[in-house]
Structure 1
Amino acid sequence: MTFMKSLSGALLAATLVAGPAAAQDPTFFRIGTGGAGGTYFPIGGTIANAISAPPGSRACEDGGQCGVPGLIAIAQSTTASVFNNAAIQNGELEAGLAAADVTRSMHLGEGAFEGNASDKLRIIANLFPEDLHLVLPAGVELDTLADLEGKRVGIAQAGSGTQVAVLQMLEIWGITRDNIDEAELNQNQSAERLADGQLDAYFYAAGWPVAAMVQLASTKGMALHSFSDEDLAKINAVIPAYIPSVIPGGVYEGIDTDTKTPAVSALLVTSSDLSEELIHGITEAMWNDSSRKMLDNGHAKGKQITPDSALNGMESLGVPLHPGAERFYREAGLLK
């Protein structure tokens, strides 16, 4: 598959710096993200910038990059969780962003991945909650997901964690691919088709605000389905990684009340094949003061990516921390 690669101007410039230091062999670190209209892509780009310090770049103490010396991290647009984890398992990516439920199922070979365990998956950090957005045309309401029967519904891209979870959720209300007109689309495509009247609804799990939805809400307008407490409990019983959450009113233009919805944690995943020293350095770089500024000044979800929440849910996830990340957290007093 051909990836769209995202290298910041700062990274690109640093790799072109002449001089003796430029002779140092670089280490490339590919991070799978998601579609350009979602949250994984900008967050992955910020993390890539934060952990990079290409050969020839100025030292951190001299105002240069404060990442891992010699590391060039590259954020690559992909179809998200399932693809990223499979690519990590196969050695096609060094790391990726992925939903917690999909990562657990793939690592253990459960559910849709039964008999095909991705045993090399390891965690660097829990990042932020991904809220499920069920997007509807402005003024449209649903009682339950059963109302989607016979409708044109975007179920997210094949290879995405959103699609895996959404199909499980829909089954609770008797909805399958056979009784909806499903569309496997990325975030931007889904928003465009809803705006054009070609979709009646679409699902997308991401940290708010989602860029494509911000644009949709401010132009054509949209609504979000707010799940009842009873429905959230049903979803949690089937997919324990999806827990009740809220998209606050005011995040999207025209939606002034809070939206109750299920959410799942987004993780930074890597491979057990990578060395303890490399992942220790990357984990350390993620949480330094320079990275903190990048996270705070980037996508809104960046502020929620903190070392204090980096280990949330790890005990019950069933996927090990990478030894390099584990060593950092122990040294930092975040893990006993």
Structure 2
Amino acid sequence: MKKKIALLLLIVLVFTLLAGCSKKDSSGNDSGEKTVQTVKKQYLTFAAPPASSALYPYWVSVGKAISTTYPEFQITVSESQGAVDIAKRIRSGEVIVGNCVSSTDYENYHGVGVFDGDPNEDLRILWYYETTPEQFVVSKTSGVNTVYDLNGKKFNPGGTGTSAASITFSILEFLGVSPDYFEAGQADAADAYANRQIIGTVKLGPINDSYVMQLIASQPANLINFSDEDIEKIIKEFPYLIPVTIPAGTYQGVDYDVKTIATIQGAQTTTKLTQEDGYKMIKAMWEEGKEIWQSAYTIGAQNNILELSLRSSVPLHAGTVQYLKEQGYDVPASLIPPEYKE
């Protein structure tokens, strides 16, 4: 009798175990439910130029392009005071990605200029998306035909504290040109030009810049055309600058090609951004989300961002290197960071 009872209990135990197993799949999930993989949300802040900038819409649309393609990225776009301000916020970890300018990137990475003695070797470039020429605007009545004619003339180097002003000071000193500088913000410089207190100013911005058009509307102007020899010397001395040509007819009354130098605007981050996440961001921007930012930033919609990125003077982000190589680009060794993994 005892044996029968023991056997019966054993049979009940076996059926109980089998019933329990039938409700679970191999991964331990209930067989009637689908396996759901949850992706951890990342709440990120992107730092953009001031809302008044022509580049601000690009950043809003890039944030949308990335978060639409990869919903795990929840992106907030915050305006800033400019390239140096953004670089400092990136350094502190306040933001993870932000707008950058090649001149500031070079100084930030190497610890020169405004970052003298404080290099940031963790700086990485995700991509560059726009060339911004240094546009030297002078009145037609000024008698200025070359950059050397600025000697002794009342001239605004660009808005106080801007990249334009920093570059102007650097290249004019390098060329041995000494204007009588009128230092002021962009708005005050525009007023001074319209009132003929100064003979000209400098604007760093996309071709067909609205500020330059405003200056020309207030007083007919020319744009200074740099010689090939001077451009070659400048670029050799300042490797973060590139040569550009502003086509004839871009601005009213400027019926000749204007050769000058330019910085490149881009997206900066640090080694804190993983290779995987950086890869997703540039992929989303250049593929699935491309139409989103192209519609919002028509002035630069046709720029080849991948080729512009290869003109960096500091290392690219590991995710960017991965994506460029996948697209068949030969990435120079100087742009490949040590943390990059094949």
Post-superposition CA distance 1:122-165 (Å, at most 9, x none): 11012222211001124434244343334332223454332222
Please tell me whether residue 44 in structure 1 is matched to residue 59 in structure 2: yes
Across the aligned residues of Structure 1 and Structure 2, the Cα RMSD in angstroms comes to 2.8
8 Å Cα contact 2:136/2:224 also seen in 1:
yes
TM-score under structure 2 length normalisation: 0.74
1:106 counterpart residue number: 108
How far apart, CA to CA, are the structure 1 residues paired with 2:190 and 2:63? 27
Deviation sequence 1:2-33 (CA, Å, 0-9, x none): xxxxxxxxxxxxxxxxxxxxxx9661322232
Distance 1:231-1:124 versus aligned 2 partners, 3 A rule: same
Q: In the alignment, what sits opposite 1:16? A: none
In structure 2, give the amino acid aligned to 1:145: V
**Aligned residue runs from structure 1 range 213-232, under 5 A:** 213-218=212-217, 220-232=219-231
- Distance in 2 (alpha carbons) for counterparts of 1:155 and 1:143: 17
Contact (CA 8 Å) 2:147, 2:226: kept in 1 or not? no
Q: Identify the residue that residue 48 of structure 2 maps to in structure 1.
A: 32
Check conservation: 2:129, 2:304, Cα contact below 8 A.
yes
Cα separation, partners in 2 of 1:152 and 1:236, compared to 1, 3 Å:
same
> 1:73 Cα shift?
3.6
Q: Post-superposition shift, 1:232?
A: 1.9
SS of corresponding position for 2:171 = helix
1:164 corresponds, among 163, 166, 177, to: 166
Instruction: Give the match for residue 284 of structure 1.
Output: 283
- 8 Å CA contact 1:42–1:299 kept in 2: the answer is no
Pair 1:76 & 2:79 matched: yes
CA distance in 2, matches of 1:147, 1:167: 15
Q: If the length of structure 1 is used for normalisation, what is the TM-score?
A: 0.75
Shift of residue 300 of structure 1?
Answer: 1.2
Equivalent residue for 1:325? 320
Query: 1:9 corresponds to which residue?
Result: none
Q: CA deviation at 1:70?
A: 4.0
Q: Deviations over 1:83-115 (max 9, x none)?
A: 322221122332222222331222011355331
How has the CA–CA distance of structure 1 residues 217 and 331 changed in structure 2, closer, same or farther, with 3 Å as cutoff? same
* Equivalences for residues 12-23 of structure 1 within 5 A: none
1:227–1:84 distance in 2 versus 1, CA, 3 Å = same
Q: Which residue of 2 aligns with 1:311?
A: 309
- Paired residue secondary structure (2:309): coil
The 1:243/1:118 distance shift into structure 2, 3 A limit, reads same
* Amino acid of the structure 1 residue aligned with 2:46: R
Q: 1:184 to 1:49 in 2, by over 3 A?
A: farther
Answer with 262-271 or 235-244: which moved more.
235-244
Counterpart of 1:199, as a letter, is I
Question: Which residue is equivalent to 1:10?
Answer: none
- Asked if structure 1 preserves the Cα contact closer than 8 Å seen for 2:157 and 2:181, the reply is no
What residue number does 1:236 align with?
A: 235
Rg larger in 1 or in 2? 2
Classify the secondary structure of the residue corresponding to 1:304: coil
State the alpha-carbon separation in 1 of the partners of residues 150 and 190 from structure 2. Answer: 17
Instruction: Give the paired residue count.
Output: 292
3-state SS of 1:183 partner = coil
Counterpart of 1:304, as a letter, is N
Conserved? CA contact 1:41–1:77, under 8 Å: no
Question: Would the aligned equivalents of 1:83 and 1:160 in 2 still touch at CA under 8 Å?
Answer: no
Corresponding residue SS for 1:117? coil
Name the aligned partner's letter for residue 121 of structure 1: L
- The whole-number CA distance in structure 2 between the counterparts of 1:195 and 1:94 is 41
Q: Distance in 1 between matches of 2:99 and 2:319?
A: 18
Deviation at 1:171, TM superposition (A): 0.6
User: Residue 35 and residue 294 in structure 1: after superposition, are their counterparts in 2 closer, same or farther (change >3 A)?
Assistant: closer
Relative to 1, partners in 2 of residues 1:195 and 1:26: Cα closer, same or farther, differing over 3 Å? farther
Q: State the percentage of identical aligned residues.
A: 23
Q: Secondary structure at the match of 2:182?
A: strand
Once the two structures are TM-superposed, the CA of residue 67 in structure 1 deviates from its matched residue by 5.2
**Counterpart Cα distance in 1 of 2:62 and 2:191:** 28
Between the aligned partners of 1:77 and 1:106, the Cα distance in structure 2 is: 17
Q: Distance in 2 between matches of 1:156 and 1:299?
A: 25
Which stretches in structure 2 are left out of the alignment for 5+ residues?
A: 1-39, 332-342
Deviation string for 1:180-199 (max 9, x for gaps)? 2331424x553343223343
